[in-house]
Structure 1
Amino acid sequence: MPHSKNFLLNRLDAAVLDRLLDNLSVIQLSHGDVLAETHGQVEKVYFPHSGIISCVVETIGGGAIETGMIGKDGAFGSSQALDDKVSLNHVVTQVPGEASVISSNHVRALADELPAFRGLLVKYEQFFLAQVQQTAACNALHSIQARTCKWLLRMHELAGDELPLTQEFLAQMMGVRRTSVTEVATELQKAGMISYSRGRIHIRDVELIRQWACECEGDVRSHYRRIFQSNEADAGP
Structure 2
Amino acid sequence: MRAHENFLLGQMDAVVFDELLPHGSVVKLTSGEVIAETRVEIDRVYFPHSGIISCVVALTGGGVIETAMIGRDGAFGAALSLDGRRAFNDAVVQVGGEATVFDTRIFSDFAERHVGFRRQLMTYEQFHLAEVQQTAACNAVHTVLARTCRWLLRMYDLVGDEIAITQESLSQMMGIRRTSVTDAARVLQNSGAITLSRGHVRIIDLSKISALACECHANVARNYRWLRHRER
- Shorter-chain-normalised TM-score: which range? over 0.9
What SS does the corresponding residue of 2:119 show, helix, strand or coil? helix
Q: What's 1:141 paired with? A: 141
Q: Which amino acid aligns with 2:216?
A: C
The alignment covers a number of residue pairs equal to 232
Q: Which residue of 2 aligns with 1:39?
A: 39
SS of 1:229's equivalent in the other structure is helix
Deviation (angstroms), 1:35:
0.5
Aligned to 1:40, what secondary structure does the other structure show?
coil
1:229, distance to aligned residue in structure 2 (A): 2.7
| % same residue | 52
Contact 1:123 1:228 (8 Å CA) reproduced: no
Match of 2:23, SS state, is: coil
For 1:212, the equivalent position in structure 2 comes to 212
Distance 1:59 1:33 in 2: 18
The residue aligned with 1:222 is 222
Shift of 1:225: 2.2
Counterpart amino acid of residue 42 in structure 1: I
Deviations 1:39-84 (A, max 9, x none): 1111000000011001110111112110000000000001110111
- What is the SS of the residue equivalent to 1:69? strand
Measured in 1, the distance between the counterparts of 2:22 and 2:201 equals 38
1:77 maps to what in 2? Answer: 77
Query: Structure 1 residue 151 and structure 2 residue 151: aligned?
Result: yes
Corresponding residue of 2:67: 67
Amino acid at match of 1:195: T
Q: Secondary structure at the match of 2:3?
A: helix
Within the alignment, does 1:15 sit opposite 2:15 as a pair?
Answer: yes
Partner of 2:48: 48
Q: Does the CA contact (< 8 Å) of 1:111 and 1:118 recur in 2?
A: yes
| Equivalent position of 1:87 in the other structure | 87
Amino acid aligned to 1:126 = Q
- Does 2:186 match 1:182? no
1:110 is paired with a residue of what secondary structure? helix
1:38 alignment partner, SS class:
coil
Q: Distance in 1 between matches of 2:199 and 2:42?
A: 30
Cα offset, 1:227, TM superposition:
3.6
Number of the residue aligned with 1:100? 100
How well do the aligned residues superpose, as a CA RMSD in angstroms? 1.3
**CA distance in structure 1 between the partners assigned to 2:230 and 2:216 by the alignment:** 19
CA apart distance, 1:230: 5.1
Superposed displacement of residue 119, structure 1: 0.7
Residue 167 (structure 1) aligns with: 167
Amino acid in the other structure paired with 2:200: R
- Partner Cα distance (2:74, 2:95) in 1: 15
> Mind listing any 5+ residue stretches in structure 1 that lack a counterpart?
none
Gaps of 5+ in 2: none
Aligned-partner Cα distance in 2 for 1:226–1:156: 19
Aligned-residue offset at 1:197: 1.2
**Matches of 2:225 and 2:197, distance apart in 1:** 35
- The TM-score with structure 1 as length reference comes to 0.95
Partner of residue 111, structure 1: 111
Take 2:88 and 2:183, find their aligned partners in 1: how far apart are those partners?
Answer: 32
Shift of 1:10: 0.5
1:6 aligns with 6
Q: Normalising by structure 2, what TM-score?
A: 0.97
Q: Does 1:123 align with 2:119?
A: no
